[in-house]
Amino acid sequence: MDENKKLEKAKRLFIDTSFTPVEYDPQYILMVNNLKKYFPIKDGLFASTVGYVKAVDGITFNIKRGTTMGLVGESGCGKTTTGRTILRLSGEKTAGQVLFNGEEVYDKSPAEMRKLRTKMQIVFQDPFSSLSPRLPVGEIIGEAVKEHGIVTKREYNDYIDDIMDKCGLQPFHKYRYPHEFSGGQRQRICIARSLALNPEFVVCDEPVSALDVSIQAQIINLLKDLQDHFKLTYLFISHDLSVVEHISDVVGVMYLGNLVEYGKTEDIFKNPAHPYTKALFSAIPVPDPKAKMNRIILEGSIPSPANPPSGCKFHTRCPYATDRCKEEVPVQKEIETGHFVTCHLFDK
């Protein structure tokens, strides 16, 4: 059986009969509807498929133009896979919709997808491993500019200089190699490389997690300035809740492949509703040694996404779990305008 037939068979296994395609709403640049991404588990002499890692297991959200959505959660919850699946960097999706400017990303032909790549970019977590050590910075930033014909040959050098200047880099940096820069400068190079293609949407995959706190602030401010200047839309993936609060307009909280809470940043931080969200927020450090912390300690570890618990996936660690939570999967509910929670505690 060839790979295409295997993929089609896998898709048939996970068809959701309750799935309803959404119609395009022009206010949103990105609409993600019940997106699923499963990875096969191979075993045996003939590497047959014995199961699936359910990395992204049916998430739904929309991002308005010119805004930032923060995506938070523990390691292994599926945040990075969500970003890569939206950009079609992890092979084919298992199920769901990804509408970019009203068009399904996964319906694009290779030629159409190549054109779309300039409009959807990504800034990776590790600024060193994502840069070629064999190319000077000018070529790293300009390689895709030449490939996609963004500007003419006559305009090329001035264009690269202008992009570097907007990202806090000097013209003479073009001739240096990545190992000659600090971590913060390397991340500026990564940002410049993404912006050089004049994108509309950028996935920022933990872009400041490997940097010092003072440098983090510089990069966050740079991203906000560039967003205002270029009218960019961000999906900002991070572990740092204080950073997410500062940069995001809306926040999504992920747990084991699912979105358990979603809403405006102000609503989420002032009134966290899901037990998992409350536990995450209780771990935010307070810069006052005398302040008393009401830390919520979750017992146990995150279950395997290859064998998630039945019912609510969080019930094995939730202090409020009931027998219903063990059997019935909760549905998303709107507890206030624009604030959605997936939990049985909010059933009317």
Ordered DSSP codes for 238-307: -S-HHHHHHH-SEEEEEETTEEEEEEEHHHHHHS--SHHHHHHHHTS--S-TTSPP---PPPS-PPPTTS
Distance CA 223, CA 229 (A): 10
- From the number of C-beta atoms within 10 Å of its C-beta (0-12, 13-18, 19+), residue 100 rates as buried
Distance CA 57, CA 69 (A): 19
Distance CA 24, CA 30 (A): 9
Q: What pLDDT is attached to residue 347?
A: 82
Q: What pLDDT is attached to residue 285?
A: 74
Q: Over its length of 348 residues, how does the chain's per-residue pLDDT go in tens digits?
A: 455 555 555 555 555 545 688 888 899 999 999 999 999 999 888 888 889 999 999 999 999 999 999 999 988 899 999 999 999 999 899 999 999 999 999 999 999 999 999 999 999 988 888 899 999 999 999 999 999 999 999 999 999 999 999 999 999 999 999 999 998 999 999 999 999 999 999 999 999 887 888 889 999 999 999 999 999 999 999 988 888 999 999 999 999 999 999 999 999 999 999 999 999 888 877 777 777 777 787 887 788 899 999 999 999 999 899 999 999 999 999 999 999 999 999 886
Q: What pLDDT is attached to residue 253?
A: 96
106 φ, ψ to 5°? -85, 0
DSSP state of 142: H
Q: What pLDDT is attached to residue 13?
A: 52
Q: Which two tokens stand for residue 286?
A: 């307070």
Q: What pLDDT is attached to residue 294?
A: 78
Q: What pLDDT is attached to residue 267?
A: 93
Residue among 76, 86, 73 nearest 37 (CA): 86
Q: Provide the CB-side half-sphere exposure for 28 (13 A, CA).
A: 18
Cβ neighbours around 21 below 10 Å, total: 10
Terminal Cα-to-Cα distance of the chain (whole angstroms): 49
Q: How far is CA 263 from CA 20, 169, 246, 255, 333, in A?
A: 22, 36, 15, 15, 11
Q: Which residue has the tokens 């709403």?
A: 25
Beta strand pairing call for 258-264 and 339-342: antiparallel
